[in-house]
Amino acid sequence: MSVPSDQDLIERWRGEPAPLLPTLHAFHERDGYISEEALRAVSSGLAIPLAELFGTLTFYHHFSRQPAGRRAPRVCTGNICCLKGGREVLAALKEEGATAMPCAGRCDDPVPVLREHQVFVGTTAAALQSRPSPVPRPNPGGIEECVFAAIRNPGRATLEGYRDSGGYEGLLQALEMDPAGVVGLIEESKLAGRGGAGFPTGLKWKAVAEAPGAPKTIVCNADEGEPGCFKDRAVLDLDPHAVIEGMTIAAYATGAARGFIYLRYEYPETCEILAGALEEARQAGLIGDKIAGSNFAFEIYLRRGAGAYICGEEGSLLNSLEGKRPLPRNRPPFPVTHGFEDLPTVVNNVETLASAPQILRRGAAWYQNLGQNGQAGTKLISLSGDIEVPGNYEVPLGLNLQTLLYDWAGGPVGGRSIQAVTMAGLSGGFLAGADLDVTLDEPGIRGKGSFLGAGGIMVFDDRRNMVDMAHNAMAFFAEESCGKCFPCRIGTQRLTERLAGAAGPTAQAQWIEEVRDIGATMMATSACGLGMAAPHITESLLKYFPQQITRHLES
């Protein structure tokens, strides 16, 4: 098989929307790194100034600039993996040129090591093996599910397996309605964004449907970079057609003609699964022209990121798709009117989109009634850390956290006690003590000073030094800060230094005053959610663990 030329690679993608990322991936795969010559060829072929292209390329973690760099293993050193042997695995693979990477979405099956197109997992270098995503366990209470209702069925990832349990019936029902009726049904269901922001999905779809400008776009945000979150990976690996169907329903409802799945780099096997599912759907007439024999047309493009936490923020994600440096956008205007290519765009999370087909099939009232204590619907929770049964769980909104931790997940490991949990991955900070008696919904958790967000919960038992846990979390935010705004860029670094004991006052009162002042400034003035959320780590540490802070300052 002949090696494609520079021109071949550029021409392959230049005719499609959002060509930069797949073009860079093609050169990276062909050569094993991005050479100076390749960079110049891409700059010329896609008409991107060389300096701008260099700034964009070097923003991402995983595009290597050194020969053979793509083949070097990358080892997760996220918060959970560090507790399960991540640093030891990294040290053992140093002779192979291994480098650290942030949380890679395998907290339920640590430690992930990324080698080219494959992820291996194991708690020692000798034990590394490739295995698929764990199948979510059924909840022990027999509580009805939405997204996970059929995910355990054999063959569910294939078109045949998906249709065997009602797949694409929601789309066919939508095509028999007018688009406004579909939007109204989603509004009535009270489905809200499950990626963290919680914005009402029906209102977002309605805004895009009513906005002037075309072509409109549906973007599936599958850049699951929040540490402790791995639910989207399970849905995409085991039920990819649910997301494709959800995107197509959203497109019909809003009048969109094109869609993108923006997938995080650290999920290479998922990329292959999605590519296969998209082709199955295309061949079956479920995406493309004249969908299911109608006059409705919608095409979906798969785009793989290159490693940047900030790309989970919708403005950064859109800039990444457009081939720009992926910095957050100033808002307003919002993506519903000025999104991809400055045109109306829906940006929805994987879980949100996978919920839509079930709502079309079963109705708005059915979905609302899945929740508890006045809450509507369900939430996927990624549970990891010092817990007997880590994994993904679909819970009714309003379920008590203690029920999930003890009745569903078996409680802490080895007879220990739970000292703290994180909320929203890391972004919601810690909950501890009496505040662990909380319901899993935004009103309940916000009442404790945190938020549910994307639904990642890490568990830390009584062995853990919580100042160390906070330091690891803040170091992650400091590394991933895009640098656009100085409150986040400088604030995360200063908080990391203080948690490490490397700078700042040693007297506890002054230390607390300074940490709180930095955090308040970040929350009030940062440009995006990263800088606003990071101080939840230090604020919750101050709230729950003052004695550990005292020991930290005295040591």
In sign, the C-alpha dihedral spanning 470, 475, 477, 483 is positive
- Write out the two tokens for 529: 């959610």
Contact between 525 and 487 under an 8 Å Cβ cutoff? The reply is yes
CA dist 173 and 182 (Å) reads: 9
Q: What is the pLDDT of residues 340-382, one digit of tens each?
A: 999 999 999 999 999 999 999 999 999 999 999 999 999 999 9
The C-alpha atoms of residue 450 and residue 469 are separated, in whole angstroms, by: 17
Helix axis angle, 466-480 relative to 535-544, nearest 10°?
Answer: 170
Whole-angstrom CA distances from 477 to 39, 362, 375 are 29, 41, 31
C-alpha to C-alpha distance for 424 and 470, rounded to whole angstroms = 14
User: Whole-prediction pTM value?
Assistant: 0.97
What residues contact 162, with CB distance under 8 A and at least 6 apart? 156, 168, 239, 241, 242
Whether the bond between 110 and the residue before it is cis, its omega within 30 degrees of 0, is no
What pLDDT was estimated at residue 1? 64
Count of Cβ atoms closer than 10 Å to residue 471 Cβ: 23
Rounded Cα distance between 113 and 532, Å, is 31
**Local structure of residue 403 (DSSP, 8 states):** I
| DSSP SS3 for 464 | coil
Cα 456 to Cα 79: distance, rounded to the nearest angstrom: 12
Copy the structure tokens of residue 50.
Answer: 């060389």
85 SS3 class: coil
CB 523 within 8 A of CB 485: no
79, 469 in Cβ contact below 8 A? yes
Residue from 238, 153, 220, 198 nearest 379 by CA: 198
Distance CA 198, CA 201 (A): 8
On the question of a cis peptide bond just before residue 215, with omega within 30 degrees of 0, the verdict is yes
* Cβ-proximal residues to 396 (8 Å cutoff; 6+ apart), any chain: 143, 370, 371, 372, 375, 377, 378
Task: Please choose, from the candidates 542, 327, 343, the residue with its C-alpha nearest in 3D space to the C-alpha of residue 429.
Answer: 542
Tokens read off for 532: 């606003």
Q: pLDDT per residue over 277-296, tens digit each?
A: 999 999 999 999 999 999 99
Distance (Å, whole) CA 447 – CA 454: 17
What DSSP assignment string belongs to 33-77?
Answer: S--HHHHHHHHHHTT--HHHHHHHHTTSSS---STTGGGS-EEE-
3-state SS of 179-210?
HHHHHHHHHHHCCECCCCCCCEHHHHHHHHHH
Query: What pLDDT, in 10s, does the model give residues 91-108?
Result: 999 999 999 999 999 999
Contact status, residue 317 vs residue 347, Cβ threshold 8 Å? yes
pLDDT at 148: 98
Q: Which residue has the tokens 């099956």?
A: 109
Question: Rounded distance, CA 99 to CA 121, Å?
Answer: 15
**Please, what is the average pLDDT of the chain?**
96
How is residue 293 written in tokens?
């024999």
pLDDT of residue 261: 98
User: How far from 453 is each of 71, 223, 227, 236, CA to CA, in Å?
Assistant: 35, 15, 12, 19
State the pairing for strand pair 299-304/256-263: parallel
Cβ partners under 8 Å of residue 185, min gap 6: 177, 202, 359, 360, 363, 364
Beta-strand relationship, 378-385 and 456-461: parallel
- Identify the H or E element spanning 119: strand 118-121
DSSP string, 250-268: HHHHHTEEEEEEEE-TT-H
Q: What are the residue ranges in the chain where pLDDT is below 50?
A: none
